[in-house]
Every structure is written in C-alpha cells, then in structure tokens.
Amino acid sequence: FLEPLELCYRSLCDCGDRSIADGSLLDFLRQVSTFGLSLVRLDIRQESDRHTDVLDAITRHLEIGSYREWSEEQKQEWLLSELRGKRPLFGSDLPKTEEISDVLDTFHVVAELPPDSFGAYIISMATAPSDVLAVELLQRECRVNQPLRVVPLFEKLADLEAAPAALSRLFSIDWYRDRVDGKQEVMIGYSDSGKDAGRFSAAWQLYKAQEELIKVAKRYGVKLTMFHGRGGTVGRGGGPTHLAILSQPPDTIHGSLRVTVQGEVIEQSFGEEHLCFRTLQRFAAATLEHGMHPPVSPKPEWRALMDEMAVVATKEYRSIVFQEPRFVEYFRLATPELEYGRMNIGSRPSKRKPSGGIESLRAIPWIFAWTQTRFHLPVWLGFGAAFKHIIQKDFKNLHMLQEMYNAWPFFRVTIDLVEMVFAKGDPGIAALYDKLLVSEDLWSFGERLRANYEETKSLLLQ
C-alpha cells in the first residue's frame, strides 16, 4: 500500500514540485511506514451461544445429532477430532438463519482483512472449554490464515467459579497448548457478575478467580494476561485506576494487564493530551508498584469471613432482585429502564433478548436506571445483610473487619467505593420517584428497600 504513495512522491519530484511532495504527502508516507494502515487493533466480541447455534446447525446438517444437546465431553471430543483433521466441515449448502450468517460473515471479514487489523476474539458469557475450541474451529473453517487469539470472558458468578477448571482442561490438551504457545489471555467481567450476585460477592469471586487462574497457568508454564472488563461506574466495577490495580491479588499482573475503558469515561481519561498522559502515567505507575511492592495476601481467617459474608450477600441480593415477585414491576415503574431501549445512545441493545426480565437486561441500563433515581441499589444491596450476619454471630468479627480494612487493599478499596456511592446517593429522590410513578400497592416495597439502604449505610460506618 506504500507503492501508490511513493509513485505520487516521485512524480511530484520529477515534475519540479518537490516543495509539495515534501509537505503533507511526505508526512503521510512516514505515518504509513511507521503505523501501517491500522493504528489500533480491533477486538471481535461475540456471545458463546451464537457460536453454539452455528455448530448446532452444522451438526444437524451433517445428520450427526444436535451439538447443543451434547454433553461438554462430547462437544470437546468432536471439536478436537475436527481440529486435528483437515477435511472441510461444511459447504455453501449449509442452511443459515440471519443470526448464523451474521456470525460466519464476521469470520469471513476477519479472513479477508490484513491480520494486523485485529487483536483478540472475545467470547462473552463463556462457560466451558468447548466455547474456546468452537471459535478455533470456526476460524479454521472460515479460512482465517492467521487465527486471532481466543479470549474467554467469564462473567457470571458460577462461570467465574468454574473458570480455573475450564482453563486447566484447555491446557491439558496437547493441540491447544501448541496453539497458544505459552501465552493465554482471560477476560473477567465486572458488570454482569455484579448484576448476577451483587457487588460484594462479585468482587470477592473476581479476586479468588484471578488467584486460581494464575495458579493453573503457572502449573502448565503459560504466561497469563488478565483482561479486566471493568465498567465506568462502581456498580460495573469502576473506580480510580491506581487503586483498582493496587488492590488486585499479588502475583496476578507481572508487568502487564488489559482493561476496558468505557465510552462514558473515555473523555475524562483520554479527552485531552494532558489527561491522556496522566491516565497512562497512572496505569504504568500502578502496574510497576504492584510488581515491586505486591499487596498483602489475605489471612485464612479473612478468607473464611469473606466466604461466609459472600454467601449471605448473594442470598440477600438474589432474594430481592430475582425471587421477589414484585421487584420487576417496581423496577420498571420507579426507574426509566423501559425508556433506554428507545434511546439511540448505546452501541448495543439494552437487552440480550427482546423478551425476559432482569436476566436478559444488560448491565449498562441496569446500573443507569438506578443511578437516575440516585438509589444505586446494585452497588450496596447485600452488603448490609452480610455485615449484620457476621457481627450478630460474633461481635469480635467487627474488629476483624476493621483490621481487614486497615491492612488489606482489596477490602479497603471495595468498602471505600461503596461509601463513595452512599455519599452520592439520596433515598429522598428515590422516594419522590416512587410517589410520582409507582402504584400505591408497591410503596411499601420501596420503603422496605430504603430502610435496607439506611441500615447498610449505618453498618458500613462502624
């Protein structure tokens, strides 16, 4: 792609127009020589269920069964047999729905464009090793000559718990170890894990998952890069960059990490040259500091306390958000959630599936809706129940919590961010929304939530 530019340059010089050639054209030539045509590599992201749909269509077309209904072991066995073979899997006669064509067309575009245009292929809602092997097979079938590195994104609480076992299984496969060549990237999701189990339980499970994933990678001699899928707000894993990095588990960064920077915070972090420099400076400083002065590891008794509190927090959160029959109606009346789907302000639909309740709602409108009412329910719900349970069980636990706050960066940052959200919150505004928008028979439910808010706030201040 340099040839036509060089031809223009020589032509201008030969015609006596060197002053023009040595202006913006020469600048452009140098930029292309230095950066190529793609300055930033683009990651591809697709949900694991979409790949399952494609492979299910293929296996049904080949009349060998339904891929979706196979067990995890059957899926892995079939995928590996195809990956180790050389025959093509499907032809142009494969029946395709619009969704299946969309997935395959993405792979075909990746195959056509220069390989330096792309970075990672991220599998959102990844749950098992077959999700990764499926993408490897689809890349091969769509003739991606230089396959993208495949990055599983573990988001829900159960998937984060199962992530170390999934990675261990992948590394135990000879074909896969040869494919990754000693380097693996794993993404962990802060937004959907928080929506699934509440901020407290999600934060603790993310911490433990990183520790276990690093242990698995070390056992197999693989360099693991953690990719943090953080949001801009506290409810979606956001927070000050420096503190967020320094509160990660020891031995999990090793001088490199990846993080997402959400659209709503790009301007404040990278909008001007001095802001951009300061942000990158903070990333570099925190990454170096984490390596040279690792944070303390939690004591066994701290871990036991966190595990017990996480169980209580998850139970409290899910009992209200997913099991309380009045919650969905209250949520849709008290917040502007239904309006977000009609607003042309996001890069993705507000729901993963048009039907469904809270489960199908994306984390962004979920947090946005509660922020609008200044109630911030997804951030604090579960904290109060966890603290109350542990203090009532043994008052000495309060002193242990205070010790954890003073000595353990992860716990301190988690509590500080929730306290900051309480400083911004205003249940009085939420009550006004209730009176204007919510039917009278649900007022008592709103009052119950606001009482929970005040109780959690007072417990945190202890």
Catalytic residues, which ones?
195
Cβ atoms 363, 191 nearer than 8 A: yes
Q: What are the strands of the beta sheet with 223-229, ordered from one edge?
A: 42-47, 118-124, 149-154, 183-189, 223-229, 258-259
Counting Cβ atoms within 10 Å, is residue 403 exposed (0-12), middle (13-18) or buried (19+)? middle
Cβ atoms 66, 116 nearer than 8 A: no
Q: What is the CA radius of gyration of the chain?
A: 25
Q: Helix H segments across 172-299?
A: 174-180, 191-197, 199-219, 241-246, 263-270, 273-292
Residue 88 host element (H or E): none
Q: How far apart are alpha carbons 196 and 310 in whole angstroms? A: 13
Query: In residues, how long is the chain?
Result: 462
In degrees, to the nearest 5, what angle opens at C-alpha 259 toward C-alphas 253 and 262? 160
Per-residue b/e over 366-394, b at no fewer than 16 CB within 10 Å? Answer: bbbbbbbbebbbbbbbbbbbbbebbeeee
Q: How far apart are alpha carbons 278 and 256 in whole angstroms? A: 18
User: Position 394: which residue type?
Assistant: D
Q: Which residue has the tokens 């077959």?
A: 130
Write the CA distances from 393 to 138, 159, 389, 403, 449, integer angstroms: 53, 30, 6, 18, 24
HSE-CB of 279 using CA atoms within 13 angstroms: 15
Residue of 383, 388, 380 lying closest to 425 (CA atoms): 380
